[in-house]
């Protein structure tokens, strides 16, 4: 729950440090006193967009900080997953806005992205304003209420997984149909391309081999001449290097016994002789191999022309890429040749997944239907003391095509009396009736969802008298179950039900208009509620009525 709120230099607030308590609290004050400013500051902590205009005039930075007690709500996993220090008795959220428009967020003094603050805020506070009453007209909001009270999270998760698998299979089927249709339109061309590449009998690496061969054949005479000259230099009968080296080796061998120191050089020279002799033989053999063959060169060039033409045509750089293109073409031809089989197989997969999805959807529908009946009964019980004794309420579930949230189309039907046919609630309910329906639903939801703090921002608009008193009682009861409920209200009947009463006021100072908030004492509560009853001219009767509302003797 919210324990403490600190605000500095935010719009009309110079500095505010206020403590909050468990149970049902009320906030009152004249219109324009600054109640919406308090909500705006809390909204910043929940990740709302920051604006430098929110900074108090003449200041360079504003700060909003809140302390929460999470000891009853088991939120450790959220902090562990996001690598944030965890203190369940004092969770601190802070937002700072600078005059340059930049803002920073912190969770337990660690920098935090605004999206993360928003995610955490959804677990901490639910702010219900008058505008949220309009949500009652939205089908997805109505469905969400049913799901919350049906406690169908596991079933919805199972359904969603089935639905995603089904939609993925449908997408694959459509893609397959599209590809087959595309291939059908290009069938002749695909088969021509496949035939052309197959007839080329491409071999990986042959382009490089052919390019090397043509290079050699184009320089055959030059190569042969160089090899022949080299061979002559090595093995010429008179003065050839091999014979000269052989003679030098013999000379050194002859003096090894009388000059032992030359033995190492003799061995090294002999090794050189052996190596040079081998080289000369290899060069001599290469001379015999090299021979200019015009036909072989023509054949190689013709083959390369074929390869180069295909590479240019198919935008490839190597024979390997051409071979890959051929493989892809064959795959597309095979897809066409077996299109009926492939379509049938994918269609069977779709039908199987659709059947599973419909089973899960039906299970979800049954759970929702049971919950809908309970909601109808419970809501009518709550509306009677709220002044709509003749109310009728029904939740209509109609089947719709499978979607991400199931196969149920939800509609809340309502009638405030017994003689008028029920119609969609948005078409027949007044503002006050919608407010009472929403409060009743919130009360029911609060029992199913562990939300630490609920703030009602003038939810009582359009309500008065006994109905207002009962609305206050409902909010009081909501605050009894380890929950914090805060209501911003203009109605004395609701204000009197609060266990803690705050007042927001504004005053003119030399520095301009400032807004303040404080906890009222018992005497101050009497005066505040009396003023709410009779206006600025507080009468003895108003004071007496205020004491009656507060059960003060």
Tens-place pLDDT, residues 351-371: 999 999 999 999 999 999 999
**Looking at 317, 350, 369, which one is the last position of a domain?**
317
Do 220 and 101 lie in one domain? The reply is: no
Instruction: Report whether pLDDT(188) > 80.
Output: no
Distance in angstroms (rounded) separating the CA atoms of residues 415 and 421:
7
The pLDDT of 215-223, averaged and rounded, is 83
Distance in angstroms (rounded) separating the CA atoms of residues 47 and 103:
11
The pLDDT of 502-507, averaged and rounded, is 88
Classify residue 45: in a domain, yes or no.
yes
Structure confidence at residue 419 (pLDDT): 84
Structure confidence at residue 135 (pLDDT): 67
List, for residues 81-96, the tens digit of each pLDDT value: 999 999 889 999 999 9
Residue 100 maps to which CATH number? 3.40.50.300
Classify residue 366: in a domain, yes or no.
no
Return the exposure string of 387-419: e unless at least 16 CB atoms fall within 10 Å of the residue's CB, then b: bbeebbbbbebeeeebeebbbbebbbbbbbeee
**Domain of 473, in residue numbers:** 1-129+458-520
The pLDDT of 478-488, averaged and rounded, is 85
Do 100 and 220 lie in one domain? The reply is: no
Whole-prediction pTM: 0.65
Classify residue 93: in a domain, yes or no.
yes
**Looking at 269, 300, 317, which one is the last position of a domain?**
317
Do 122 and 210 lie in one domain? The reply is: no
Do 211 and 125 lie in one domain? The reply is: no
The pLDDT of 116-122, averaged and rounded, is 89
Phi, psi angle pair for 2, to nearest 5°:
-75, 120
Structure confidence at residue 130 (pLDDT): 64
Structure confidence at residue 67 (pLDDT): 94
pLDDT category of residue 444 using cuts at 50, 70 and 90:
confident
Strands, sheet with 103-107, edge to edge from the N-terminal-most edge strand: 13-19, 2-10, 61-68, 91-98, 103-107, 110-112
DSSP annotation of 22 reads S
pLDDT category of residue 326 using cuts at 50, 70 and 90:
very high
The pLDDT of 385-403, averaged and rounded, is 91
**Looking at 260, 284, 317, which one is the last position of a domain?**
317
Instruction: Report whether pLDDT(4) > 90.
Output: yes
Instruction: Report whether pLDDT(443) > 70.
Output: yes
Structure confidence at residue 237 (pLDDT): 66
Do 95 and 210 lie in one domain? The reply is: no
Answer for the pair 353, 166: CB distance below 8 angstroms, yes or no: yes
Of 311-315, 384-388, 395-399, least confident by mean pLDDT is 384-388
| Angle value at C-alpha 197, between 196 and 201, nearest 5 degrees | 115
Q: 153: burial class by Cβ within 10 Å (0-12, 13-18, 19+)?
A: exposed
Do 13 and 100 lie in one domain? The reply is: yes
The pLDDT of 299-304, averaged and rounded, is 92
Per DSSP, which regions of 29-166 are E strands?
A: 61-68, 91-98, 103-107, 110-112, 125-128
Answer for the pair 229, 221: CB distance below 8 angstroms, yes or no: no
Do 8 and 121 lie in one domain? The reply is: yes
Structure confidence at residue 432 (pLDDT): 81
Of 51-65, 405-419, 490-504, least confident by mean pLDDT is 51-65
List, in sequence order, the alpha helices (H) in 384-521: 425-428, 431-448, 465-478, 492-495
Classify residue 278: in a domain, yes or no.
yes
| Percentage of the chain exceeding pLDDT 70 | 96
| Percentage of the chain exceeding pLDDT 90 | 40
Mean pLDDT of the chain: 87
Classify residue 18: in a domain, yes or no.
yes
Q: Provide the sign of the torsion angle of the four alpha carbons 417, 421, 425, 430, taken in this order.
A: negative
Classify residue 411: in a domain, yes or no.
no
Classify residue 27: in a domain, yes or no.
yes
List, for residues 240-287, the tens digit of each pLDDT value: 888 888 888 889 988 988 888 999 999 999 999 899 989 888 888 887
Distance in angstroms (rounded) separating the CA atoms of residues 5 and 87:
17
pLDDT category of residue 134 using cuts at 50, 70 and 90:
low
Structure confidence at residue 225 (pLDDT): 82
The number of domains in the chain is 2
Instruction: Report whether pLDDT(335) > 80.
Output: no
């Amino acid at each position: 729950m919210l324990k403490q709120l600190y605000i500095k230099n935010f719009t009309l607030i110079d500095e505010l440090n206020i403590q909050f308590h468990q149970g049902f609290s009320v906030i009152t004050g004249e219109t324009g006193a600054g109640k919406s400013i308090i909500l705006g500051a809390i909204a910043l902590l929940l990740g709302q967009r920051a604006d430098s205009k929110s900074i108090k005039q003449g200041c360079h930075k504003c700060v909003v900080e809140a302390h929460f007690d999470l000891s009853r709500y088991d939120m450790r996993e959220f902090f562990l997953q996001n690598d944030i220090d965890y203190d369940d008795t004092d969770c601190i959220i802070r937002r700072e806005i600078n005059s340059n428009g930049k803002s920073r967020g912190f969770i337990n003094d660690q920098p935090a992205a605004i999206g993360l603050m928003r995610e955490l805020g959804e677990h901490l506070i639910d702010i219900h304003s008058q505008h949220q009453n309009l949500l009652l007209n939205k089908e997805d909001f109505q469905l969400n209420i049913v799901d919350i009270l049906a406690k169908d999270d596991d079933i919805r998760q199972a359904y969603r997984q089935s639905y995603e698998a089904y939609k993925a299979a449908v997408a694959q089927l459509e893609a397959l149909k599209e590809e087959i249709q595309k291939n059908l339109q290009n069938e002749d061309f695909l088969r021509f391309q496949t035939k052309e590449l197959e007839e080329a009998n491409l071999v990986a690496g042959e382009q490089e081999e052919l390019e090397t061969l043509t290079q050699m054949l184009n320089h055959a005479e030059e190569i042969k001449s160089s090899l022949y000259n080299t061979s002559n230099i090595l093995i010429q009968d008179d003065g050839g290097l091999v014979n000269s080296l052989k003679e030098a080796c013999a000379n050194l061998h002859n003096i090894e016994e009388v000059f032992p120191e030359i033995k190492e050089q003799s061995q090294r020279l002999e090794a050189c002789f052996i190596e040079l002799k081998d080289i000369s033989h290899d060069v001599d053999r290469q001379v015999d191999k090299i021979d200019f063959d015009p036909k072989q060169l023509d054949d190689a060039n013709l083959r390369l022309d074929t390869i180069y033409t295909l590479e240019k045509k198919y935008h490839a750089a190597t024979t390997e890429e051409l071979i890959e293109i051929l493989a892809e073409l064959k795959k597309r031809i095979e897809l066409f040749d077996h299109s009926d089989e492939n379509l049938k197989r994918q269609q069977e997969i779709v039908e199987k997944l659709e059947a599973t999805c419909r089973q899960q959807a039906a299970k979800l529908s049954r759970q929702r239907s049971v919950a809908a009946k309970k909601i109808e009964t419970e809501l009518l019980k709550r509306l009677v003391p709220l002044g709509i004794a003749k109310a009728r309420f029904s939740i209509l579930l109609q089947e719709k095509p499978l979607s991400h949230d199931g196969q149920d189309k939800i509609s809340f039907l309502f009638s405030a009396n017994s003689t008028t046919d029920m119609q969609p609630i948005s078409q027949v309910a007044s503002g006050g009736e919608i407010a009472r329906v929403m409060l009743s639903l919130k009360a029911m939801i609060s029992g199913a969802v562990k939300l630490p703090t609920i703030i009602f921002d003038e939810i009582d608009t359009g309500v008065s008298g006994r109905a207002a008193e009962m609305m206050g009682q409902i909010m009081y009861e909501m605050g009894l179950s380890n929950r914090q409920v805060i209501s911003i209200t203009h109605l004395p009947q609701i204000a009197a039900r609060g266990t803690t009463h705050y007042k927001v006021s504004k005053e003119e100072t030399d520095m301009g208009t400032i807004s303040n908030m404080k906890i009222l004492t018992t005497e101050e509560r009497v005066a505040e509620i009396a003023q709410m009853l009779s206006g600025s001219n507080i009468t003895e009767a108003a004071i007496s009525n205020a004491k009656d509302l507060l059960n003060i003797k």
